[in-house]
Amino acid sequence: MSVEIDATPTQVWATVEAIERHVDWMHDATAIRFVGEQTRGAGTEFGCDTKVGPIKLVDHMAITEWEPMAVIGVRHAGVVSGVGKFTIAAIEPSTGSCNGERSRTLFAWEERLSFPWWLGGRLVAAVAGPAVLRPIWRRNLRALKLQIESSSS
């Protein structure tokens, strides 16, 4: 899923590269604690306290991909496992647009998650993704858009 943000890729990156601030726009993330001194780049590891409805868990994550202004990839290795990726891309102004048009960015969020058997396993993954997680991620994308656009105006 994705959202178009009225800001430059540099402005979007400035917000999303600050992993410790993801709790400001991810409503399901309640706290982030880094493992070690590293807080940016591939190899960064952290625990993210996550709450979805009555379920609370620590999502152990490692950044696997880090391309400034373009990509942040993560591996989930806790109770819930899988991979995720944020991608950032400039949206080209449409043909014939005036020179005063604001810069826009497409921010995309992909996740492939697996749940343990005691949380319903594949059945929960098939149902929770569309029914529970996607609305949460959509809400998070709206919050990210609002945060960036209000700080860049």
The structure's pTM equals 0.87
pLDDT tens-digit series, residues 43-93 = 999 999 999 888 899 999 999 999 999 999 999 998 889 999 999 999 987
Query: Range of 36's domain?
Result: 2-93+100-152
| CATH of residue 71 | 3.30.530.20
Written as six digits, the tokens of 110 are: 């992909």
Q: Which of 8, 110, 144, 9 is nearest to 67 (CA)?
A: 9
User: Is-contact 69 87, C-beta < 8 A?
Assistant: no
Residue 73: the pLDDT is: 98
Number of structural domains the chain divides into: 1
pLDDT tens-digit series, residues 103-150 = 899 999 999 888 777 777 777 667 666 677 788 899 999 999 999 999
**Cβ neighbours of residue 73 closer than 8 Å, sequence gap 6 or more:** 63, 64, 65, 66, 83, 84, 85, 86
